[in-house]
Amino acid sequence: MAETAHRYAPGDVVVRREILLGEVWFGFPTICVADTPDLLALYIPPGAEFGFPESGTFPCGRHPWEAAGHRAWHGHGKLMLHRPGEAHSIDVFWTGPERDFAGWYFNLQDPLRRTPIGVDTLDHELDLWWGADADRYVWKDVEIFAERLVEGRYPGMADAIQGEGDRIAALLDAGERWWDPAWASWQPDPAWSAPRLPAGWEAVPTAGWDAAVPAAR
């Protein structure tokens, strides 16, 4: 019998890790905003530390943010909205001294899989961005995605990743909005501080206690 997935309470630390070709590649702590059967909302606050495992084979190289010297999240925090089983998140960005809403970022990634310390996924590089003042979305990182395919980062996944992007684009073109636009004005709890990664975060097994469940279309 499958174990019941642990759910987080608002304010709990949830470690988000990227798993590349079976290895922990990157991780950072987030704060749970909401965790229901229909939505997992995670917030990465300013100053949240980035973690890069010291050991591994890393056939596609070290994480690009490690190579670039990024060690923590800078600027305004980011809110990430996930529906169960979907191969993308909707990320909410803010900008400027008044924390104005900047736009919606459709981040293609592996469906989340829960672990004893948080969630595992893998960013798929290809994304869509709809700025707050824009009439339409734009595709992001198309060339980088093509490069990653050549590098072998997503073996056998190219069509599925592109298909998910095309599906999102078609929904947006049809006027579909599957998220609550009220998230644009969401404010983090002022008592929240930047969490740190727990000791041994990279050693936690990658197989969580619940599998990614396909979402209803």
Residues serving a catalytic function are 140
Q: Which two tokens stand for residue 24?
A: 């922990």
| Residue of 53, 15, 60, 17 whose CA lies nearest to 206 | 17
In angstroms, the CA 166 to CA 41 distance is: 24
d(CA 12, CA 17): 16
Angle at 91 between CA 93 and CA 76, to 5 degrees: 30
Region of residue 24 (left: phi > 0; alpha: psi -120 to 50; beta: else): beta
> DSSP letter at 162?
H
